[in-house]
Amino acid sequence: MNKICKQYISEVKALFPIMGKDERNYVKKLKANIESYCGDAGITSKKELYESYGLPNEVVNDYYSTTDTEYIIKRIKISKYIKAFIVAVITLAVAATSVFCAVLYKEHQMAVRQEVIFAESVVE
């Protein structure tokens, strides 16, 4: 597959808000069609692909216009919850790491103070 066809496919992939199993299958079939078309027609510019298949946003719009609305809403809600969960986990990890580092720093400061006190008592 030539560079122009790969760029077109990546543009289409980038416009999908969610990439579930159905969307991957759609892109896979589209990719196969475009690969064969590029090989047969000898595509030399994206403009030729745009004229044949449409702009990437039109391709994605066509996919979603044929897909059930409830399915799309369900997938978007699920992805929203997954993103919120990931953000919560990262936030907790950062907080836990901060607390751990603060405790280690305080222990280090106490150890330094004890060494200073010990060194002073040994000198006397």
User: Quick one: which H or E segment has residue 107?
Assistant: helix 69-123
Is a pLDDT exceeding 60 seen at residue 1? no
Question: Band of the pLDDT at 124, cuts 50, 70, 90?
Answer: low
**What gap in Å lies between CA 40 and CA 19, rounded to an integer?**
29
For every residue of 28-82, DSSP letters joined together read: HHHHHHHHHHHHHHT--SHHHHHHHH--HHHHHHHHHHHS-HHHHHHHHHHHHHH
pLDDT of residue 45: 79
**What gap in Å lies between CA 23 and CA 16, rounded to an integer?**
8
Q: Which residue has the higher pLDDT, 47 or 116?
A: 47
Return the domain boundaries, the chain: 1-67, 69-124
pLDDT of residue 49: 84
Is a pLDDT exceeding 60 seen at residue 36? yes
pLDDT for 40-90, tens place per residue? 877 777 888 888 888 999 999 989 888 888 988 888 899 899 999 999 999
Q: Give the phi and the psi of residue 19 in degrees, each rounded to 5.
A: -125, 85
Structure tokens at 53: 């298949």
3-class secondary structure, 17 = coil
Q: Which residue has the higher pLDDT, 13 or 121?
A: 13
